[in-house]
Amino acid sequence: MPEYTPAPLVKAAEQFARLPGIGMKTAQRLAYHILTLPAETVEEFSAAMVAAREKVRCCGVCGNFTEESVCPICSDPKRDAGVVCVVESPRDVFVFERGGGFDGVYHVLHGLLSPMEGTGPGDIRVRELMERLSGDVKEVIMATNPTVEGEATASYVGRLVKAVGVKTTRLAYGLPAGATLEFADDVTLARALENRNEI
Amino acid sequence: MPEYTPAPLVKAAEQFARLPGIGMKTAQRLAYHILTLPAETVEEFSAAMVAAREKVRCCGVCGNFTEESVCPICSDPKRDAGVVCVVESPRDVFVFERGGGFDGVYHVLHGLLSPMEGTGPGDIRVRELMERLSGDVKEVIMATNPTVEGEATASYVGRLVKAVGVKTTRLAYGLPAGATLEFADDVTLARALENRNEI
């Protein structure tokens, strides 16, 4: 930023730029915007961030974000505690719940295995998942993303789960709804063909 | 957001969504990200926003953001106080200074005339500009954006300045550097032709 720019403005922009997906230009624009807001609005904004970080913790059972010691999903008697959907992050729980098509419970790994980044099984919530399996869990759905790390994690954790005799499944691959064949990538198309269903 | 989502998380997302250019999806992503950061990092982030809003004020002369009562540009003896560049917002001063090609001073209007939004001459810093003209100002450059409101403001304020006998200019229109004719819009092309220079 130009040298005369006030230091607190530069610092605000730097803080915005640390957020994922926010580039330096957007960060500067947001910092300038902050200065045009009423002081109370900025204090409200800041307080909301600190409050979110302070009040929200991880569910003692599934690891999802919650204000309670056990989250509303885990403590809901209408949810099927016998089907556990294993995801990378609380954000993924959000995506499933938004869809509303799943009535089991979750297990948030809080990360994926990544030899490149030095993340091993001890760094994600694998042990906690295995401990849950001693109960009446009938099925574990590996619902990590279809990326290299997501696949590796699904494969590794899936094998551990299977080894203790619990049914293990993986999300289906295929064409996304509403997509046209023309824009499907080769891997997606090959998998859609391989996993074809009788009609 | 799904009903079980912790209230503080929803609030953080709502606060992000109030920022310009941040949609609800991005806001949710950012709020989830905040929860994964160390508490001190979130406090630093929040404190930077409040500090920026508290410490930065408007220069008593030009209206640009500064920590002093008079900004470094207005108080710099090397800048030509006789040439005043009139802009909409402090962000525009930033853009000019980043370029580094202007050695005069600025006047920030903090808005544009907009009958649609009910913004009249009394709502932007027009009076403050006219007061500055009693000094030794030789030229006023109208540097508002080439939008409907920007043009209307340049035209209105420009006429006022001209009426007190000060030379008034407007930023040139033409092809942006590096652009190809093919992608220039008709208005830009017509103006580039109209304002052609002898080589």
List pLDDT tens digits, range B58-80.
999 999 999 999 999 999 999 99
Cβ partners under 8 Å of residue B75, min gap 6: B68
ipTM of the complex: 0.84
Per-residue pLDDT for B186 more than 90? no
CB contact under 8 A, B45 and A18: yes
| Per-residue model confidence (pLDDT) at position A182 | 78
Q: How confident is the model at residue A184 (pLDDT cuts 50, 70, 90)?
A: confident
Tell me how far apart the alpha carbons of residues A87 and A194 are, in angstroms, rounded to a whole number.
25
Going along chain A from its start, the domains and CATH numbers come out as: 7-55 (1.10.8.420), 78-170 (3.40.1360.10)
CB within 8 Å: A14 and B52: no
Look up the pTM and report it.
0.83
pLDDT score, position A92: 92
Q: Which phi and psi angles does B49 have, rounded to 5°?
A: -70, -45
Residues in chain A: 199
Positive or negative torsion for Cα A87, A93, A94, A100: positive
Q: Across chain A, what does the average pLDDT equal? A: 92
**Rounded CA gap, B128 and B133, in Å?**
9
Residue ranges of the alpha helices (H) in B23-89? 24-36, 39-55
Q: How many other CB atoms are found less than 10 A from the CB of residue A198?
A: 3
Q: Which residue has the tokens 């930033």?
A: B94
Find chain A residues with C-beta within 8 A of B37's C-beta.
53
Chain A positions in Cβ-Cβ contact with residue B100 (cut-off 8 Å): 2
Tell me the chain B residues in contact with residue A53 when contact means C-beta distances shorter than 8 Å. 34-35, 37, 39, 42
Backbone angles phi, psi at B181, to 5 degrees: -55, -40
pLDDT at B167: 93
- Close Cβ partners of A183 (under 8 Å, ≥ 6 residues apart): none
* Cross-chain CB nearest to A52 (options B18, B34, B49): B34
Residues 6+ apart with CB under 8 A from A31: A9, A10, A12, A13, A16, B52
